[in-house]
Amino acid sequence: MSAPIAIIGTGLAGLSAAQALHAAGQEVQLFDKSRGSGGRMASKRSEAGSLDLGAQYFTARDRRFVEVVQQWQARGWVAEWAPHLYSSRDGRLSPSPDEQVRWVGTPRMSAITRALLGALPVHFACRITEVFRGEQHWTLQDADGQNHGPFSSVIIATPAPQASGLLSAAPKLASAAASVIMEPTWAVALSFAMALDSPVEGCFVQDNPLAWLARSRSKPERDTLIDTWILHASSTWSRQHLDLSKEAVIEHLHGAFAEMIGCAVPAPCFSLAHRWLYARPTSAHEWGVLADSDLGLYACGDWCLSGRVEGAWLSGQEAARRLLEHRQ
Ligand code: FAD
Ligand code: NAI
């Protein structure tokens, strides 16, 4: 029996790889610096209920992903979300309906990664700082200086800037990952005790500090007692205001929201801000995965493909496929 495979990152890419390897009879061990799984698809529990602060919804365009989303739907992990969509440009709000099928996790976005993780062995609150190879096997070192291993292969499934530092054993892969620029996103949740008098349930925003807003209660199986909105600032605004205090970010985005939504917006009864430092790659790639199969080192994530949920899942599948192919 060979040593297990280490997977760093329990976002969708890492879990997609873990599932495929587990299904092929391989032993995996997962690590994440956070206290739970999901990464940018995580949902935050709060006094206003669960908040999808990262990925808002996802589309499925690749045939393989379409099929897997149908399986997730049959298991009750996801449902279609068909919001009253709007767009806002030059301060003008207008309906913007379309035919696109959009999916969300139920009852929260993190339900998907939680279900995928299942009972797989995982170390949470464990930030890996170094990945090094002995004569035959890999060892991981965490931020407390503790070693984990031995492992036969390692899959790094973190955002590119975090992956590049862990890829030093394969300088070519490290420099490819280092070339990927990822932009930040400030996310704010605002809850109102009385529902706002607006038909908007989702809105693409341009020419504004905001880029997107969504009404939580319009998503399937969400809390409807309180009217919670998730606002995302644009990459440009987020970059320019990276170090602003959370209070100031809430104040700015609340103001921008009140200006564009076209109805009275009282002070929120609950508010929260979250900064995603590595939210989205500036451009898409077609790598699928970065791999050094002879070494047994792989890097995957949304940044290897489309920078979306679908890209993360596909990239994890590709990492598993390449690893299994090499073992045959
Ligand atoms: P991640 O989800 O980032 O997972 C990486 C994991 O690695 C994390 O759990 C992290 O804690 C862990 N990690 C990092 N470094 C270490 C380390 N050193 N040691 C251990 N663990 C580590 N996509 C869409 O398709 N639709 C959307 O509407 C959408 N909206 C978005 C809105 C926002 C604000 C953000 C931030 C993203 C959005 N996305 C959206 C993108 C989508 O969330 C990502 O493409 C996808 O979730 C990425 O998955 P991943 O597994 O590649 O990475
Ligand atoms: P999609 O097809 O719904 O949206 C793609 C883009 O098309 C949108 O960003 C928007 O600009 C435009 N668009 C789509 N439908 C529209 C409509 N009805 N009216 C006006 N404009 C419309 O979804 P896809 O391709 O799966 O993209 C995922 C979404 O995730 C995008 O909105 C993207 O911006 C967002 N995202 C956000 C991140 C962040 O950090 N804030 C990171 C990664 C993705």
User: Does the C-beta of 158 come closer than 6 Å to ligand 1?
Assistant: yes
5-42+112-179+287-327: CATH number: 3.50.50.60
User: Does the C-beta of 141 come closer than 6 Å to ligand 2?
Assistant: no
What pTM was computed for the model?
A: 0.98
Whole-number pLDDT of residue 328: 79
Mean pLDDT by 10 residues, the chain (328 residues): 94 98 98 98 94 98 98 98 97 96 98 98 98 95 98 98 98 98 98 97 94 98 93 98 98 97 96 98 96 98 97 98 94
The model's pLDDT over 254-284, given as tens digits with 9 standing for 90+, comes to: 999 999 999 999 999 999 999 999 999 999 9
CA-closest residue to ligand 1 atom 33: 54
With beta carbons less than 8 A apart as the criterion, state whether 85 and 96 touch.
yes
With beta carbons less than 8 A apart as the criterion, state whether 303 and 285 touch.
yes
With beta carbons less than 8 A apart as the criterion, state whether 252 and 241 touch.
yes
- Could you tell me the residue ranges of all domains in the chain? 5-42+112-179+287-327, 49-109+181-281
The model's pLDDT over 222-266, given as tens digits with 9 standing for 90+, comes to: 988 899 999 999 999 999 999 999 999 999 999 999 999 999 999
User: Does the C-beta of 301 come closer than 6 Å to ligand 1?
Assistant: yes
Alpha-carbon distance 219 to 195, whole Å? 15
User: Does the C-beta of 280 come closer than 6 Å to ligand 2?
Assistant: yes
- In this structure, how many other beta carbons lie within 10 angstroms of the beta carbon of residue 308? 17
Architecture of domain 49-109+181-281: Alpha-Beta Complex (3.90)
With beta carbons less than 8 A apart as the criterion, state whether 58 and 71 touch.
no
- In this structure, how many other beta carbons lie within 10 angstroms of the beta carbon of residue 167? 24
Pocket test for ligand 1, best of 66, 109, 117, 158 (most atoms within 8 A of CB): 158
- In this structure, how many other beta carbons lie within 10 angstroms of the beta carbon of residue 271? 20
